[in-house]
Amino acid sequence: MAQPGQDAKFFQRGKIEEFRTELQAAETKDKKYVKRKTVLKKIVANITMGNDMSPLFTDVVQCLGTPLLEIKKMVYLFLVSYGRSKPDQIHLVIPNFLQDCSDRNPLIRALAIRTMSYIPIPVVTDALSENLRHCLKDRDAYVRKTAAICVAKLYTADPRRAEKGGFVEMLRDLMLDSNATVVANAVAALSEIGDRQDGVIFRLNLTTANKLLAALGESSEWGQIYILDSLLRYVPERHEDAETMVERIIVQLQHANSAVVLTTIKVLLYLMNYMENRRLIDYCCKKMGPPLVTLLSSGPEVQYVALRNILLIIQRRPAVLKNDVKVFFCKYNDPIYVKLAKLEIMYRLARAENASEVLAELQEYASEVDVDFVRKAVRSIGRLAIKVEAAADRCIQALLDLIETKVTYVVQEAVIVTKDIFRRYPGKYEGIIPTLCENLDALDEPESKAAMVWILGQFGNRIDNADELLDDLLYTFLDESVEVQLALLTAAVKLFIYKSKSDKTKELVHKVLKWATEDVDNPDLRDRGFMYWRMLAINPTVAGEIVLAEKPAITTDSDRMDRGALDQLLLHTGTLGSIYHKNPETFIRNSTGKALVDSPALNAHSRAALVSLPRVQLPHTVVSVPGPGPSEPKVETPSTLLELKPAPSAPDSAPTGTPSPVIPINRETGDNLSDEDDDVDPAATGAHDPYSNLEGAFGNYLADEPRPMMGGRHDDLLF
């Protein structure tokens, strides 16, 4: 056997003609195959380096007759690389394939069948089918486990042949094999076939699931992962079945391999949806915590995978790590992506009992060097105040201390979260508004500027110089982002409603509305300007009620993921889906979705959030041939062949059974309440209208009627 590093000399770019000459010379003089082995090593090394060695196809194929296993391996590796690109020459290899499939050495038999499965060409697939059938029943376990994977390759190349040949049924029989490795490979192949949109449906019953669990202890690490993952295809019909299975696999949480641990946790979380024994559920949650904490002592890449999965797990089962918030405190040498993930988990695990520790840690982070990390830390302080009411006072004081540092990005983040705190605790912390106004010049980012403008408009009646501050911000109205422009427009209208007698606010709001409706391209901003202008001109009282309507308090419920979506994502624990927090079918082509399956054992809360996943039907290909032909009568497509979703129809043409628009009706008189406001005389309400003495502030509304920006040059485009 070659010593490590001894083959490094072969990794040098070579010429095709030189290799061909060496191979031809080796055929006549090389009785011990030493030279042939050396040349093949050079060719394989060049393939590894990315050099095209396909012109040597016929020369390399001639080496297949060599009895040495090492040479056969290199030739088959060459065929795996270039076999599918040489469909006109691959027939030269078929006799060697058939001969090696009947070789006495099981390694050669497995090597031949595996190489054939990697070449999805019809002539090779034809030769593979019969030999694969024999290999699936081979006396050697190594050949059987290789053949099991080859069935999945055959299904990818030719699904119809694989199904008609009965290979899927043979895989099902292999799941009951006496060898654990064969069982694991059969499960892996069936899982790959079942995950295809055009594949068979792979389900397990209780008997088969128990037999797979019996093979779990003798399997390799990857075999255990395949077997555990396949248990998600078992749907318990009774609570006792799920609880018994949990007790059998919970020991896998002690495994040294992180992938086995995450897969075990995935299966436990799945089975817990079908359990009713609360004590056993709490025991499982308690047992899942230490393995997850242990994963955080690995390298940063494994840490990040673990953290992203933990973020999902604690949203569904908060008890798993409720007492381990200190584990997620950031270390000085953690990469930034690990620190940001830990910050999010710290916020999720924060509660009244540990809020002081979390807040102290976040204050430390707010003085770090990394800007993104500091921003996230400051924002987390504000979110902590919203989530834990008992810690709100300390969080506000911490934010004020951070604002005093006068660091620009810290001040901006503090302003953003303070706005949300005002929404969460109305009328409680408005005393810090003067401090925020003092730092108005430090705000240069759209989000922070929009937050400050919202504060000025919302609390304009408490800020004496609100009109002056807003006027300063309006100097750059036309140059601001849409987010800030929308905030300025609404704030100006609010300020006018608060201080309707002030000439400055009248001038201010008139100027903003003019800009918004005539000088701005954005349709959202323009439409909002039209709406505000007409409301203020027609009925300022109603405008005040709408613009200054009481806003619902902010809660932390918006931070939580939908229960149904969360249950779906937890079925992908330990995969890319759990890192992206997206279902694989959204970013992997031809991937099928997973969801909990209803059964008598499914608990009520999980059933309420159940997500139905209809199996995707592949569209039928319709071939139309253009050109003249005999005219045939048009035949309506039967509803059984083509089902069209009904398009939403207009209210006046709604079909029977379609809900019509809801119109409020007076139950006593039967009158339409939606038209009642049309009969109200605006003058009749003047006695009680606080805005009735505006003295025509909007009297020139018709004169200043908004007109198209292009001055009528392109009016025909509207039609």
CATH number at residue 145: 1.25.10.10
Distance CA 381, CA 391 (A): 10
Distance CA 189, CA 191 (A): 5
pLDDT in tens, 198-210: 778 888 999 999 9
Over residues 466-474, mean pLDDT? 87
Over residues 313-340, mean pLDDT? 93
Determine the pLDDT at residue 63.
Answer: 85
Determine the pLDDT at residue 700.
Answer: 44
122 and 151 assigned to the same domain? yes
Please report whether residue 331 resides in a domain.
no
Determine the pLDDT at residue 306.
Answer: 94
Rounded to 10 degrees, what is the CA torsion of 548, 550, 555, 559? Answer: -40
pLDDT in tens, 366-388: 989 899 999 999 999 999 999 99
**Model confidence at 678: pLDDT above 70:** no
**Which residues are within 8 A (CB) of 129 and not within 5 positions of it... i.e. 6 or more apart?**
154, 161, 165
| H helix or E strand, kind and range, residue 109 | helix 106-117
The phi, psi pair for 371, rounded to 5°, reads -65, -45
User: Checking phi first, is residue 50 left (phi over 0); if not, alpha (psi -120 to 50) or beta?
Assistant: left
Q: What percentage of residues in the chain have a pLDDT greater than 70?
A: 83
Determine the pLDDT at residue 6.
Answer: 67
Burial of 156 (0-12, 13-18, 19+ CB in 10 A): middle
Instruction: Among 37, 64, 84, identify where a domain stops.
Output: 84
Please report whether residue 239 resides in a domain.
no
Please report whether residue 258 resides in a domain.
no
Distance CA 284, CA 420 (A): 37
Determine the pLDDT at residue 545.
Answer: 87
Contact between residue 672 and residue 663 where contact means Cβ atoms under 8 Å apart: yes
Over residues 680-697, mean pLDDT? 45
Q: Residue 196: beta bridge partners?
A: 591
In the numeric block, which tokens belong to residue 364? 């430390």
Number of separate domains in the chain: 3
pLDDT in tens, 612-668: 876 555 444 333 334 343 343 443 433 323 232 333 433 343 333 433 333 344 444
**Model confidence at 669: pLDDT above 80:** no
Instruction: Among 183, 204, 225, identify where a domain stops.
Output: 204
Please report whether residue 103 resides in a domain.
yes
Give the pLDDT band of residue 5 (cuts 50, 70, 90). Answer: low
Q: Residue 656: beta bridge partners?
A: none
Distance CA 308, CA 321 (A): 14
Give the pLDDT band of residue 670 (cuts 50, 70, 90). Answer: very low
Determine the pLDDT at residue 593.
Answer: 84
63 and 171 assigned to the same domain? no
Distance CA 274, CA 280 (A): 12
139 and 179 assigned to the same domain? yes
**Model confidence at 610: pLDDT above 60:** yes
Determine the pLDDT at residue 465.
Answer: 85
Please report whether residue 63 resides in a domain.
yes
Q: How many CB atoms lie within 10 A of CB 253?
A: 19
Over residues 207-221, mean pLDDT? 92
Helix 221-230 vs helix 206-214: crossing angle, to nearest 10: 170
69 and 141 assigned to the same domain? no
Q: Residue 204: beta bridge partners?
A: 234
- Find, among 40, 89, 26, the residue nearest to 69 by Cα: 40
**Model confidence at 363: pLDDT above 90:** yes
112 and 75 assigned to the same domain? no
Exposed e or buried b for every residue in 628-649, given b needs 16+ CB within 10 A? eeeeeeeeeeeeeeeeeeeeee
Give the pLDDT band of residue 194 (cuts 50, 70, 90). Answer: confident
Instruction: Among 571, 590, 608, identify where a domain stops.
Output: 608
How many Å separate Cα 288 from the centre of its chain? Answer: 24
Over residues 300-313, mean pLDDT? 94
Over residues 581-601, mean pLDDT? 88
Q: What percentage of residues in the chain have a pLDDT greater than 90?
A: 47
Distance CA 143, CA 710 (A): 77
Cα four-point dihedral sign 638, 641, 643, 644: negative
Burial of 589 (0-12, 13-18, 19+ CB in 10 A): exposed
Written as one letter, the residue type at 386 is I
Q: How many CB atoms lie within 10 A of CB 301?
A: 11
Please report whether residue 323 resides in a domain.
no
pLDDT in tens, 12-57: 777 888 888 888 877 776 667 788 888 888 888 888 888 888 888 8
Give the pLDDT band of residue 538 (cuts 50, 70, 90). Answer: confident
Determine the pLDDT at residue 15.
Answer: 82
- Find, among 355, 258, 272, the residue nearest to 319 by Cα: 272
Cα four-point dihedral sign 558, 560, 561, 563: negative
68 and 110 assigned to the same domain? no
92 and 189 assigned to the same domain? yes
- Find, among 407, 471, 393, the residue nearest to 443 by Cα: 407
Residue bearing tokens 């069982």: 183
Please report whether residue 440 resides in a domain.
no
In the numeric block, which tokens belong to residue 141? 């376990």
pLDDT in tens, 471-530: 888 888 988 999 999 999 999 999 998 888 888 888 899 999 999 999 888 999 999 999
94 and 199 assigned to the same domain? yes
73 and 105 assigned to the same domain? no
105 and 131 assigned to the same domain? yes
Determine the pLDDT at residue 31.
Answer: 66
The phi, psi pair for 95, rounded to 5°, reads -60, -40
- The domain of 77 spans 15-84
Distance CA 406, CA 443 (A): 11
Determine the pLDDT at residue 615.
Answer: 54
Over residues 342-347, mean pLDDT? 94
Please report whether residue 211 resides in a domain.
no
126 and 139 assigned to the same domain? yes
**Which residues are within 8 A (CB) of 89 and not within 5 positions of it... i.e. 6 or more apart?**
57, 58, 61
Give the pTM: 0.77
91 and 79 assigned to the same domain? no
> Mean of the per-residue pLDDT values for the chain?
82
Over residues 91-120, mean pLDDT? 91
